[in-house]
Every structure is written in structure tokens, then in C-alpha cells.
Amino acid sequence: MLSLNLPQAPLKIADKNGKKYIFDILRKKYISLTPEEWVRQHFVHFLIGHLGYPPGLLANEVSISLNGTSKRCDTVLYSQSLSPRMIVEYKAPDVKITSRVFEQISRYNIVLRVDYLIVTNGITHYCCKVDYSTGSCRYLSSVPSYTDL
């Protein structure tokens, strides 16, 4: 897999019947190793190990209903009271982060109304804080630590 713009992570890789799987520490099971999953697992380890995010408040593949269709948020951070605080959207390293990716995560946010949106392909990371009073987003220079949220 490709080298990412993220710290090394203690990932568990398994080979079953010639197919590679990666252990998801949040779902506690092996998942098919795709380029997007490679990014997800590195980023989740980054959030937990380097930025102090509590693993018990993070969830992968969170189902939501949007305009009568089922969608899945890649990762959601919850507050201590279990209300959504952040959505993270992952793309494979070779996928450019465009306005379409932000439109996708913004649609998810219609349902969840979180404070922070993150989009990453493992190489480039964008994080913005949503200001509902002005209806705008402010881009941050880096992903905030958990204590800075």
C-alpha cells in the first residue's frame, strides 16, 4: 500500500485465501483492505494515538437516512453525551479532494449537524469548523486535538 502523510500506525494485516484484510480497531473485526480502508485505519490511529480522541466515542460506517436513502458516514466522533461532533470522509490516496467530496460530507451533515468536517485521502487533509450562526465553514490549519475541540 501507498505511504501516507500520516504517522506510522500499528496496523494488523491478514491474508485469507489470497485476499488482504486489515483489522478495524473500532469495529473490532477484519475488513477488506482497499486503498480507502488503508487511509481510514491510518487516520483513526492518528486521531486516537496522536490527537487523543477516545476510541469509545468514534464509530466507523455510521448509517444515516438522507432524503429516504441510506448513506454511511466513514467515521463519526460523538460527544460524551453521544451527540455527533465530527464527520470524517476518506478517499483513496489517488483520489483528488474536490468540491464534490465536500458536497458529499455536507449532505451527511444535513442529518448529523456536527461541529467539524474532515476530508482526507491520506495525503491531503482538510478540516473545517462549522459555524451555524453564520452558515459558514472556517478551514483550520490542522486537525485539532481532542482537547481543543
pLDDT score of 2 more than 90: no
pTM above 0.75, yes or no: yes
Q: Which domain holds residue 130?
A: 13-148
Residue 6 lies in a domain: no
Q: How many domains does the chain have?
A: 1
Report the CATH number at residue 46.
3.90.1570.30
Residue 108 lies in a domain: yes
Residue 92 lies in a domain: yes
Could you read off the pLDDT of 116-134 as tens digits, one per residue? 999 999 999 999 999 999 9
Length of the chain: 149
Q: What is the mean pLDDT of the chain?
A: 96
Do the Cβ atoms of 22 and 10 come closer than 8 Å? no
Is 76 exposed, middle or buried (CB count within 10 Å of its CB: 0-12, 13-18, 19+)? buried
Residue 121 lies in a domain: yes
Do the Cβ atoms of 72 and 65 come closer than 8 Å? no
pLDDT score of 64 more than 80: yes
Do the Cβ atoms of 114 and 130 come closer than 8 Å? yes
